[in-house]
Structure 1
Amino acid sequence: MEPPRQLPEQAAPIFREGIALTLSRWSALQMAVDNEWGGPNSRQRADELGHEIFAWFTQSKEPLYFDDLEDLLHDAMISLNTVAEDGSVEEVAEKLLIMHEECLEGNFTAIEKLREASLKRVAPAHIKQVVEGEEEEEDSDSEDMMDDSPYMMVDAPKAQPSPTAVNKAGDEGRPPQTADSDGWTVVSSRKSRAKKL
């Protein structure tokens, strides 16, 4: 068996960045780090994982097998006192292997997309929207409203390309949405909004 192909010199730092971006989007890992489930040096362990993955791809003399990468990721999660039973270990391993193959071919499209997505991301699985007008006056258990700010965090809808705007008058008409110069979609608030959703 021949050893794995080596990354071209110019591809190595881009692949390293791709590993870091992939790990930063792995919610199970980030939750373990944020909550310090592996102790106060959880962040350091997550950073070391990135280095271990890069070394595994670039310094291995043996063929690269999916199962070996999976084991590496599982062991890293266990070191953070975390067991990811959501299939994310396999998903991350697969993404990393595909990314490595693409980098060998000089294709950095996936990494560029990850880079763009990380720049746009405000918080995982949320988008930030401006709420036009006054704050909702009803009592709400929602912690999404922060310090009476005119912003709210909204789960990104999966079925629709953008949230549906509802006007203040309370009728069921759906006015066309408009985005301001910054690209934010303005959503009018109304008191019964929480009951409708």
Structure 2
Amino acid sequence: MGTGGITFNAHVVSDTWHHKHVPSVADDSVLQRDIRELLSRWGGLQMAVKNQWGGHDSLKKSQELAHHLFHLFSQSNVITVEEIENLLHESLLLSFNTEIEDGSIEEVAEQLMILHEEHLRGSH
């Protein structure tokens, strides 16, 4: 602006609006980290990765699953635990040629749903 014009710190205004209305990148990175951490504790998935049931790129496939889950959570506020269970089941079957019937898919889906709900509450 020219001399005599009103100036303000656009960065502060932008940050204030951003925190009130948009999930921050920091919130997103926390959610991404939490998803990866949860999947890293899932014995069935880790066994598939360790034994390379998905081939030589099994680790990459598990990382893609974490990314896909994050993307799903980022795109929609309305997700059912059944959708998450189906995604996990399908991913294990197609990516790792593995079927897990020990109840852990349902457990992991419920824990992921809790992470998603916590992220939504923290973002508003």
> TM-score under structure 1 normalisation?
0.48
In the alignment, which of 38, 48, 52 is matched to residue 64 of structure 2? 48
1:38 partnered with 2:54:
yes
What is the number of equivalent residue pairs in this alignment? Answer: 101
1:13 partnered with 2:29:
yes
Which structure 1 residue ranges, 5 or more long, are not aligned? Answer: 1-5, 108-197
Taking only the aligned residue pairs, the percentage that are identical comes to: 46
SS at match of 1:105: helix
The runs of 4+ residues in structure 1 deviating greater than 6 Å are: none
Q: CA RMSD in A?
A: 1.9
Distance 1:63 1:104, change over 3 A: closer
Residue deviations 1:146-167 (CA, integer Å, cap 9, x gap): xxxxxxxxxxxxxxxxxxxxxx
What does 1:79-118 align with in structure 2 at a 5 Å threshold? 79-106=95-122
Q: CA deviation at 1:106?
A: 2.4
Distance 1:7 1:88, change over 3 A: farther
More strand by share: 1
Taking the aligned partners of 1:15 and 1:88, their CA distance within structure 2 comes to 21
Residue deviations 1:83-112 (CA, integer Å, cap 9, x gap): 1101000100100111111122229xxxxx
What does 1:162-177 align with in structure 2 at a 5 Å threshold? none
What does 1:96-175 align with in structure 2 at a 5 Å threshold? 96-106=112-122
Q: Assess if the C-alpha contact under 8 Å between 1:7 and 1:104 holds in 2.
A: no
Distance 1:99 1:85, change over 3 A: same
In the alignment, which of 53, 63, 71 is matched to residue 78 of structure 2? 63
Per the alignment, residue 74 of structure 1 pairs with 89
Q: Assess if the C-alpha contact under 8 Å between 1:29 and 1:46 holds in 2.
A: yes
SS at match of 1:8: coil
Q: Assess if the C-alpha contact under 8 Å between 1:32 and 1:42 holds in 2.
A: yes
More helix by share: 2
**One-letter amino acid matched to 1:87:** G
Q: Assess if the C-alpha contact under 8 Å between 1:32 and 1:38 holds in 2.
A: yes
Residue deviations 1:40-99 (CA, integer Å, cap 9, x gap): 111111010000000111113x72111111111001111201111010001001001111
SS at match of 2:90: helix
Q: Assess if the C-alpha contact under 8 Å between 1:16 and 1:54 holds in 2.
A: yes
Per the alignment, residue 23 of structure 1 pairs with 39
Larger radius of gyration: 1
Per the alignment, residue 131 of structure 1 pairs with none
